[in-house]
Structure 1
Amino acid sequence: MGKREEMIKAIKQLMTQPERIRNMGIAAHIDHGKTTLSDNLLAGAGMISEELAGKQLVLDFDEQEQARGITINAANVSMIHEYEGEKYLINLIDTPGHVDFGGDVTRAMRAIDGAIIVVDAVEGVMPQTETVLRQALREYVKPVLFINKVDRLIKELKLTPQQMQERFIKVITDVNRLIRRYAPPEFRSKWLVKVEDGSVAFGSAYYNWALSVPYMRKTGVSFKDIIDLTNAGDLKALRKKAPLHVVVLDMVVRHLPNPLQAQKYRIPHLWRGEIESDVGQAMLSCDPNGKMAMVVTKIIIDKHAGEVATGRVWSGTVKTGQEVHLITAKRKARIQQVGIYMGPERINMEAVPAGNIVAVTGLRDAMAGETVSEEQIEPFEALHYTSEPVVTVAIEAKNVKDLPRLIEALRQLAKEDPTLHVKIDEETGQHLLSGMGELHLEVKLVHLKEQWGVDVDVSEPIVVYRESITKTSPIIEGKSPNKHNRFYIVVEPMPDEIYQAIREGEIPEGKPKDPKAVAKKLAELGMDYDIARGIVDIYNGNMFLDNTKGIQYLNEVMDLLVDGFHQAMDEGPLAREPVMKVIVRLVDAKIHEDNVHRGPAQIYPAIRTAIHCAMMKANPVLYEPYQKVIINVPYEYMGSVSREMNQRRGQLIDMKQEGEVMIIISEAPVAEMFGFAGAIRGATSGRALWSTEHAGFKRVPNELAINIIRQIRQRKGLDPNPPTEKDICPQQ
């Protein structure tokens, strides 16, 4: 029996013992060494050869990723590790650290129970570290810490052991500060990372060594030994004395929970259904004999097998030929192949039980985030993405005969990556592709050409703006075209605290499953409880409330009103851009008794016009997306960087010096950031390292807003002049 067969046999045995499974991820700021760590863990576990590890980047198996040197897709691998004489199955999900791919991180967090947070010892905790840690804690994922690139402290910065210790303490303190801030209350102190208990390890992923206090106690290897070997350049001896995979995977087995432990506290927070039901109990106890339920976290297109859906099995067992429900898509499907991953290779299995990460084919209508189950159950909470699509390009097939292929390709891209929005512009017939940034879209367009062979013309990137209001409107009447139905509404600006709570996922989007709990939360954030009790729907950071009393037939038209509210929020009155931070309150209504006179054709225009008219009377304003820009640059280029940012309406937020390097953190409008990569390279002779992340929306200064509204309207084929109240509000 070859080594590979032995490996598969061992994995099959361990899959059925949940106490021996660890589902974990590795998350970090870009370039802090995450993929190198993953590869060397795989090498240590015998999945790839040691010489290649770190160069091979097994998890970066998309050709584009290797060319760019950043991880774009979260890949999944199963491997085996022996700890204190017992074997363990470790399912590792690699996630991207580049902000444009933040959606992948969010989805990967759903599948795992624990995460190694990697921090560069030289740079320390960076903004993206905070983002990934916050996402992990929000999904009830327990962290441990690996401080990487310690070799640079020894060789480049030539720090003394005392100075190094100070460095480590600072990183650990910063990480624990974030855990205290973002962890669920019951885990705030339990999940803090500590050097003494081995929930912190430090080392060099590139040179393949690591240390932790338990390992030092067990083997007698000291930090001084490591410094001496590093200075002597004896890398082989280093790897032998303190092998990275042993130290790090020991930490994983010791400190990260198994599925039996994790599902007890994760399921009640991730799943909306009745915990006392059979399937609820089966998920709590990770029961392989219960009804099957899983969540799809990623869809990839395999040249041979078609669509492969990867996901976490919460209860029951996934089997070949199983009939399943796709809860959100409201479709049925039949599972064809069932398997697991070993690196980029998918190994077929007959069945995969609860507590594992599975790869299946046959779920043609599933998207990432889909709940798949044997019977109809409540879906899992919608996944929260930390960024939202803010840049759009219009694309057309160069060759008309490629159009069907382009449509199919876009459909697949949107399925693989729900943070990508695809829309057809009814007026121009162009396909609009919206993503989280320039790089995100660039990667997807290369994908189109290379995987699908479709040549496209791409417009200049366009920024997605938002519309909002700054005042409360008077009561506005909206009449249906037949004059038989009247709705009276008020719009008001949403307080920042409430908007933040929605963005952070503390208040879930959609129709609240527990309106009382949501009302209570809104009251805590300052809303009048009697008003908050009317909560009907939350949509893209806007809110619809029913504050009427005893209106006949209102229940019959409520779904139509919510649809009309969605339509009004999708396209605001100023420039038909999406709306944010608006509260719409229905305060009175008169509704025709005969349902023939109160169908969609009557209700939609009534509510939509009323909302838009009210917004025009509430001082409508335009918001634009901002990016946080983090630039590492040698001291002498400081001036060039500042000038470059000033030209782009950038605001300096923070500046700190680390050795010879300055770290400059600023914020700038996304609209001003196109072409930044080339410009900053030129300004710093290619010496700048930089990354960006979404920094929310800020109001556009009035003197710029008029022109921007004109440009957007012109692009959409509308009258370029910004509308007035008269244009939007029907004459009474």
Structure 2
Amino acid sequence: MPEKESLTDKVVRLMNQQNRIRNIGVIAHVDHGKTTTCDTLLAGCGMLSEEKAGKQLYLDSEKVEQERQMTVKSSNVNMVYEREENDEYLINLIDTPGHVDFGGHVTRAIRAIDGAIVVMDSVEGVMPQTEMVLKQALRDKVKPILYINKIDRLITEMRFSPEDMQKHLVKLITQINSFINDLAPEDVKAKWQVSVQDNTVAFGASRDNWALSFKRMKATGLSFKDVYETYTSNDKEKIKELSKKTPVHKVLLDMVIEHLPDPVEAQKYRIPIVWHGEIESEIGKSLISCNPEGPLMISVTNIEIDPQAGEIAVGRIFSGKISRGQDVYLINNKQINKVQQIYIWKGPQRFQVESALAGNQIGMAGLKNIISGETLCGADLHDVTPFEPIKHSLQPVVVKAIEPKNPKDLPKLIQALREQEIYDIALKVSINHETGENLIAGLGTLHLEIVEDKLRRTYGIDIVSSQPIVVYKESIAAKGPIVEGKSPNKHNRFYLYAEPLSPEVVEALADESMPTGKIKAFTQENIELLIKAGMTREEAKSISAIYGENMIVDSTRGIIHIGEVIEMCIESFNEVMKEGPQAREEVRGVKIVLTDMMLHEDAIHRGPAQVIPAVRDAIKDAMLQANPIILEPIQILRVDLPMANLSNISALIQSKRGIIDNVKDDGDKAVITAEMPVASTFNFTNELRSGTEGRGSWSLAGETFKKLPRDIQPVIIKQIRDRKGLEPMQ
């Protein structure tokens, strides 16, 4: 009798069959049932017992996830799904967080996947994070299918009749399709509409491990009437019987195989989105065709920190083959490293493999100084266009100061903070060796609480943290006069002015496709985006560099030595945009225009020590003469509450400088859409619960920055400068 093939051996065998690979993610709003759904898929593939499925939350491997019943990171797993005998598929699955504070993990996961199961709570429907993650997926041309979960709630909690259930579900599907129609690229928005009849929509209850699709209904003879009768009878045995007849994994994984693309098919239309090199080049053709024999190209999407193996770079192979012991070139870091080990996943456990081909997701150990967003290629390929940067749509808006209780732990804390910044794309760490201040900036207070928890548990550091501090931005409100910057030796002069960028241009600069740093050449897509935002083609082409949502423009003419100093001008610009002149906060929405310069003929007199301070001081002076302002972060909230509490909660929001944009009447419930300063949200959860007897909740629907009221601005600037140990502004 032949020896039974192990799961690892099956995975390795299927890794070489690209048409039998599916790279998928499970995405949703928080608490809509993603990880429970993943449990049922794992159980259906023989990786978890059916009794534990839906309860163990197998991919929530960290203690904090288990304690809070919340996913805070993305988790990879390789599953083998056997539809029929000898009909097997490799499912590379990523379970993603649903809470907005951990959305950076979703952003990175989307780069690695080609299709997504969008999980939606049948009662809550389309929520802000549903929209946010679906928007990210569609932007990267990741094809969605829809799974409406927790159908039992419509029967047991909402007391819907079968007819009401049907109307409600049709409404949810229509909402999702409207969203796809608005945000999907033009060439796929019609093809990617989800439909019950096309079997791209399923309904179920993952906790009870059953699901239904149109195809499954025909195959089993089951209908919503059977589901309704099962739950109204409150018979647990009937629910178990439903699970045996139509388990979640059978329905969803059949949909995945039939409707989500393999990597060869997906890369034909995804590569132009995620890689902006020359498509007709050898590398471009290899990427488009997912060629395992072509040049090696890997996009690093995540970094896992392992106590034994160190940093594990998680990546998607888009072209070529990677082998253990192979040298690779880190394009952004400009160095050669050796891949010491290659890993695949079985839940939270990793297994070593010798090699992997294009179309697969792997972990790699041994790569020094690796960060998320890096591009790996063959050691002999240096002049290669990297993959597009992985940008998260939300910015850090909350800061905490961190210090160790025991001063001897400071070096350990600094190392831990640097590791966490590598691991977490949305975390920003600032270490000031002069003041001894260590700052962590995140998407919200929960985000920072989880980082603090890791510092204590994973690294064993007893820490003390400050109260949350809001991240402000500096900007200007008017066009300023031309100012002169003189070099210390008085031999060089620079003339420039500052003016505010329009909100449309700021939005364009924040777009994921927009390059940062020195601009060698814009793509046609970038130029069209800026023209659509209101810039002329000539203005767009004169941009020298971009930092965040700011730009420096060279409008000089006939300067002989400008090629020698423009890099230094850009460095000066970057310094000021990183730390503005009012409070050393980051700058947003500013355009610096170089109009003229007078340079010494001798290169030794126009070096960095002369140019950088002259341009830097001139930019600061120009901003201070252009009606400088402070921008505060504003969060767009969705507040769900009983209609009876609408009046007092509206008053609460307004008392916090909040602005109510819309109120939706949903029977005995109300949904408020409001804008509120981040500084006012820190205790809002407790106040909302108190004002609604625990029945109110809120979620983040978006964020922006708005001008701080003039009467508050001097107070905020003084608070920031005092905290940073700066002298009062003159």
TM-score of the two chains, using structure 1 as the length reference: 0.95
Matched letter for residue 280 of structure 1: G
Q: Work out whether 1:587 is the aligned partner of 2:595.
A: yes
What is the Cα deviation at residue 650 of structure 1?
2.0
What is the Cα deviation at residue 150 of structure 1?
1.2
Matched letter for residue 250 of structure 1: D
Q: How many angstroms apart in 2 are the aligned matches of 1:267 and 1:180?
A: 22
Provide the secondary structure at the position in 1 that maps to 2:141: coil
Indicate conservation of the 8 Å contact 2:26/2:96, yes or no: yes
Pick which of 214-223 and 549-558 moved more: 214-223
How many positions carry a matched residue from both structures?
722
Indicate conservation of the 8 Å contact 1:480/1:603, yes or no: yes
Q: Work out whether 1:686 is the aligned partner of 2:688.
A: no
Equivalent position of 2:208 in the other structure = 207
Q: Say which of 369, 372, 383 aligns to 1:368.
A: 372
What is the Cα deviation at residue 401 of structure 1?
1.6
Structure 1's 264 and 251: CA in aligned 2 closer, same or farther, altered over 3 A?
A: same
Matched letter for residue 701 of structure 1: P
What is the Cα deviation at residue 682 of structure 1?
3.8
Structure 1's 424 and 579: CA in aligned 2 closer, same or farther, altered over 3 A?
A: same
Provide the secondary structure at the position in 1 that maps to 2:273: helix
Pick which of 271-280 and 150-159 moved more: 271-280
Matched letter for residue 118 of structure 1: V
Aligned ranges for residues 81-230 of structure 1 at < 5 Å? 81-83=81-83, 86-230=87-231
Matched letter for residue 11 of structure 1: V
Matched letter for residue 478 of structure 2: K
Equivalent position of 2:609 in the other structure = 601
What is the Cα deviation at residue 321 of structure 1?
0.7
Q: Deviations over 1:357-392 (max 9, x none)?
A: 101111131111111121322211111211111111
Indicate conservation of the 8 Å contact 1:519/1:535, yes or no: no
Indicate conservation of the 8 Å contact 1:18/1:260, yes or no: yes
Matched letter for residue 351 of structure 1: S
Q: Deviations over 1:8-35 (max 9, x none)?
A: 2221111101111000001111111111
Structure 1's 344 and 663: CA in aligned 2 closer, same or farther, altered over 3 A?
A: same
Q: Say which of 317, 321, 325 aligns to 2:321.
A: 317
Structure 1's 286 and 436: CA in aligned 2 closer, same or farther, altered over 3 A?
A: same
Provide the secondary structure at the position in 1 that maps to 2:207: coil
Provide the secondary structure at the position in 2 that maps to 1:630: strand
Matched letter for residue 424 of structure 1: I
Q: Work out whether 1:355 is the aligned partner of 2:363.
A: no
Q: Say which of 388, 399, 410 aligns to 1:403.
A: 410
Identity %: 48
Q: How many angstroms apart in 2 are the aligned matches of 1:480 and 1:504?
A: 36
Indicate conservation of the 8 Å contact 2:36/2:57, yes or no: yes
Equivalent position of 2:296 in the other structure = 292
Provide the secondary structure at the position in 1 that maps to 2:626: coil
Q: How many angstroms apart in 2 are the aligned matches of 1:390 and 1:442?
A: 14
Q: Work out whether 1:615 is the aligned partner of 2:623.
A: yes
Structure 1's 273 and 354: CA in aligned 2 closer, same or farther, altered over 3 A?
A: same
Matched letter for residue 617 of structure 2: T
Indicate conservation of the 8 Å contact 1:35/1:59, yes or no: yes
Equivalent position of 2:637 in the other structure = 629
What is the Cα deviation at residue 71 of structure 1?
0.6
Aligned ranges for residues 544-583 of structure 1 at < 5 Å? 544-583=552-591
Which runs of 5 or more structure 2 residues have no equivalent in the other structure? Answer: none
Q: Deviations over 1:616-645 (max 9, x none)?
A: 222111111112333333444445533443
Q: Work out whether 1:388 is the aligned partner of 2:395.
A: yes
Equivalent position of 1:726 in the other structure = none
What is the Cα deviation at residue 141 of structure 1?
0.8
Provide the secondary structure at the position in 2 that maps to 1:452: coil
Provide the secondary structure at the position in 2 that maps to 1:441: helix
Q: How many angstroms apart in 2 are the aligned matches of 1:142 and 1:215?
A: 22
Q: Work out whether 1:76 is the aligned partner of 2:76.
A: yes
What is the Cα deviation at residue 613 of structure 1?
1.5
Q: How many angstroms apart in 2 are the aligned matches of 1:515 and 1:561?
A: 20
Indicate conservation of the 8 Å contact 2:77/2:346, yes or no: yes
Structure 1's 459 and 166: CA in aligned 2 closer, same or farther, altered over 3 A?
A: same
Structure 1's 340 and 4: CA in aligned 2 closer, same or farther, altered over 3 A?
A: farther
Q: How many angstroms apart in 1 are the aligned matches of 2:492 and 2:162?
A: 77
Which runs of 5 or more structure 1 residues have no equivalent in the other structure? Answer: 724-732
Q: How many angstroms apart in 2 are the aligned matches of 1:320 and 1:128?
A: 39
Q: Work out whether 1:259 is the aligned partner of 2:263.
A: yes
Indicate conservation of the 8 Å contact 2:128/2:700, yes or no: no
Indicate conservation of the 8 Å contact 1:326/1:333, yes or no: yes
What is the Cα deviation at residue 543 of structure 1?
1.1
Structure 1's 40 and 527: CA in aligned 2 closer, same or farther, altered over 3 A?
A: same
Q: How many angstroms apart in 1 are the aligned matches of 2:523 and 2:564?
A: 22
What is the Cα deviation at residue 513 of structure 1?
5.0
What is the Cα deviation at residue 646 of structure 1?
3.1
Matched letter for residue 485 of structure 1: N
Provide the secondary structure at the position in 1 that maps to 2:517: coil
Provide the secondary structure at the position in 1 that maps to 2:711: helix
What is the Cα deviation at residue 296 of structure 1?
1.4
Aligned ranges for residues 663-674 of structure 1 at < 5 Å? 663-674=671-682
Q: Say which of 264, 283, 299 aligns to 1:279.
A: 283
Aligned ranges for residues 453-532 of structure 1 at < 5 Å? 453-512=460-519, 514-515=521-522, 517=524, 518-532=526-540
Equivalent position of 2:724 in the other structure = 716
Matched letter for residue 714 of structure 2: I
TM-score of the two chains, using structure 2 as the length reference: 0.95
Pick which of 612-621 and 516-525 moved more: 516-525
Q: How many angstroms apart in 1 are the aligned matches of 2:569 and 2:175?
A: 47
Indicate conservation of the 8 Å contact 1:534/1:547, yes or no: yes
Q: Deviations over 1:420-469 (max 9, x none)?
A: 11112244111111111111111001100101111122122211101111
Q: How many angstroms apart in 2 are the aligned matches of 1:495 and 1:2?
A: 70
Equivalent position of 2:246 in the other structure = 242
Provide the secondary structure at the position in 1 that maps to 2:298: strand
What is the Cα deviation at residue 537 of structure 1?
1.4
What is the Cα deviation at residue 651 of structure 1?
2.1
Q: How many angstroms apart in 2 are the aligned matches of 1:673 and 1:7?
A: 48
Q: Deviations over 1:641-695 (max 9, x none)?
A: 3344333222223333556543333221111222334443444443333333541
Pick which of 596-605 and 419-428 moved more: 419-428
Q: How many angstroms apart in 2 are the aligned matches of 1:203 and 1:4?
A: 33
Q: How many angstroms apart in 2 are the aligned matches of 1:520 and 1:477?
A: 33
Q: How many angstroms apart in 1 are the aligned matches of 2:489 and 2:193?
A: 63
Indicate conservation of the 8 Å contact 1:83/1:253, yes or no: no
Provide the secondary structure at the position in 2 that maps to 1:646: helix
Equivalent position of 2:274 in the other structure = 270
Indicate conservation of the 8 Å contact 2:116/2:143, yes or no: yes
Matched letter for residue 495 of structure 1: S
What is the Cα deviation at residue 516 of structure 1?
6.4
Equivalent position of 1:48 in the other structure = 48
Q: How many angstroms apart in 2 are the aligned matches of 1:348 and 1:516?
A: 40
Q: Deviations over 1:500-519 (max 9, x none)?
A: 12223253333345336234
Equivalent position of 2:7 in the other structure = 7
Q: How many angstroms apart in 2 are the aligned matches of 1:331 and 1:394?
A: 34
Q: Deviations over 1:552-601 (max 9, x none)?
A: 11111111111111111111122111110111111222222222111111
Indicate conservation of the 8 Å contact 2:637/2:702, yes or no: no
Equivalent position of 1:20 in the other structure = 20
- Cα RMSD of the aligned pairs, angstroms, is 2.0
What is the Cα deviation at residue 136 of structure 1?
0.6
What is the Cα deviation at residue 208 of structure 1?
1.4
Q: Deviations over 1:326-358 (max 9, x none)?
A: 222222211111110111111111111110110
Indicate conservation of the 8 Å contact 1:623/1:699, yes or no: yes
Matched letter for residue 566 of structure 1: N
Equivalent position of 2:450 in the other structure = 443
Indicate conservation of the 8 Å contact 2:474/2:586, yes or no: yes
Q: How many angstroms apart in 2 are the aligned matches of 1:64 and 1:642?
A: 34
